[in-house]
């Protein structure tokens, strides 16, 4: 067997994420890695450029904590749950400091990842044309996006977006083996393109399984182990978001965050309790059960809806 890459979230973040890096964060509402995000905040990483097609509260917490200088995204909000106040305070009032955002569309960020994952310098898209996202640019300036006539003669103009290749990426999935072969089902979000575009990948997962189990269902593997530098075992690692087949979204807890983060003081209190005040994910979960009770915690667990298996025989 190859060397195990299983380490703690603490070791993964201190070992592979440095100040000033461009970091690709995986997930689309479903299954973001809170175990890694909270560790980044606890280790006070700074001057990060964070990338994700659509961001939710995990980005808001990193912004409020001062970890972020730049954002490459299309969206920072939590749908019908409500606004993200740290993001708003940063953009409107430069609290805790000024941040910049390169505004794209959801698909445009995916296209940038696709180009990055394929090793081509840019990719043409149909979106963004004529919008003010083409007019306003942050640090990338002209290199944010370029409109160009199709050289193959369709007569149409397209928007070219540059390849995005983060220094490091991290995501959360259902299961991985010790080499980092990672399997994910349900809503893939920006995977696999986001993680394929990253130079190195950290995966956190609900379960660690064997290489033999991976090989029994290889079509479900979303990132191959060779891209992965660290595997973190993190049950409930996406809470308060959901992880298909493991637990559902914790709506009350998300509403609680949005409500409390409306003021700076409220946000600090929340973070002191749920991020800074706990050493790791185990303490976080213990605090959750102590605060809300085991019944509420177990109520998040997914019910069984098993798939039928297929024959991989030859």
Alpha-carbon radius of gyration of the chain: 20
Our finding on whether 238 is near other proteins (CB under 8 A) is no
Our finding on whether 289 is near other proteins (CB under 8 A) is no
Stretch 164-203 residues interacting with other proteins (CB under 8 A): 185-193
Residue 37 or 56: the one with the smaller Cβ distance to other proteins is 56
Our finding on whether 40 is near other proteins (CB under 8 A) is no
Residue 36 or 238: the one with the smaller Cβ distance to other proteins is 238
Length of the chain: 314
Q: Which residues of 225-242 are buried (b: 16+ CB within 10 A; e: fewer)?
A: bebbbbbbbbbbbbbbbb
What is the rounded distance in angstroms from the CA atom of residue 142 to the CA atom of residue 184?
Answer: 37
Residue 1 or 305: the one with the smaller Cβ distance to other proteins is 305
- Which residues, in sequence order, are bridge partners of residue 24? 51, 169
Please pick, from the candidates 16, 34, 75, 274, the single residue that binds other proteins as defined by CB under 8 A: 75
Please pick, from the candidates 8, 213, 244, 287, the single residue that binds other proteins as defined by CB under 8 A: 244
Q: Which of 56, 63, 6 is nearest to 40 (CA)?
A: 63
> Which among 26-34, 59-67, 258-266, 285-293 is the span making contact with other proteins, rule CB under 8 A?
26-34
Please pick, from the candidates 8, 43, 127, 287, the single residue that binds other proteins as defined by CB under 8 A: 127
Q: Which of 182, 254, 250, 252 is nearest to 218 (CA)?
A: 182
Our finding on whether 132 is near other proteins (CB under 8 A) is yes
Please pick, from the candidates 2, 216, 251, 286, the single residue that binds other proteins as defined by CB under 8 A: 251
Strand-strand pairing, 200-208 and 228-233: parallel
Our finding on whether 128 is near other proteins (CB under 8 A) is yes
Kindly list the residues in this chain that would bind other proteins in the complex (CB under 8 A).
28-30, 53-54, 73-77, 79-81, 83, 87-88, 91-92, 101, 103-108, 110, 114, 125-133, 136, 155-157, 185-193, 242, 244, 248-249, 251, 302, 305
């Amino acid at each position: 067997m190859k060397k195990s890459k299983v380490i703690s979230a603490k070791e993964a973040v201190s070992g592979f994420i440095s100040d000033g890096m461009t970091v690709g964060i995986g997930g689309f509402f479903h299954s973001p890695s809170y175990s890694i995000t909270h560790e980044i905040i606890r280790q006070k990483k700074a001057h990060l450029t964070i990338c994700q097609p659509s961001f939710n509260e995990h980005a808001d917490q990193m912004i409020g904590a001062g970890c972020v200088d730049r954002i490459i995204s299309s969206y920072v909000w939590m749908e019908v749950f409500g606004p993200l106040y740290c993001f708003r305070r940063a953009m409107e009032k430069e609290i805790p400091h000024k941040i910049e955002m390169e505004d794209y569309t959801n698909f445009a960020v995916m296209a940038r990842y696709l180009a990055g994952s394929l090793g081509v310098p840019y990719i043409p898209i149909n979106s963004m044309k004529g919008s003010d996202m083409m007019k306003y640019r942050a640090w990338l300036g002209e290199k944010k996006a370029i409109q160009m006539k199709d050289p193959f003669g369709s007569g149409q103009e397209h928007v070219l977006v540059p390849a995005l290749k983060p220094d490091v990426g991290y995501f959360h999935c259902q299961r991985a083996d010790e080499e980092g072969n990672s399997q994910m089902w349900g809503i893939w979000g920006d995977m696999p393109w986001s993680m394929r575009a990253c130079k190195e990948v950290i995966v956190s997962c609900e379960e660690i399984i064997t290489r033999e189990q991976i090989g029994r269902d290889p079509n479900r593997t979303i990132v191959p182990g060779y891209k992965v530098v660290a595997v973190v075992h993190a049950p409930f690692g996406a809470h308060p978001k959901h992880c298909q087949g493991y637990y559902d979204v914790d709506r009350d807890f998300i509403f609680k965050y949005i409500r409390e983060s409306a003021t700076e003081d409220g946000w600090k209190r929340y973070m002191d309790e749920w991020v800074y005040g706990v050493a790791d994910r185990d303490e976080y979960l213990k605090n959750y059960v102590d605060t809300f009770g085991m019944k509420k915690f177990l109520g998040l667990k997914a019910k069984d809806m098993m798939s039928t298996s297929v024959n991989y025989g030859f």
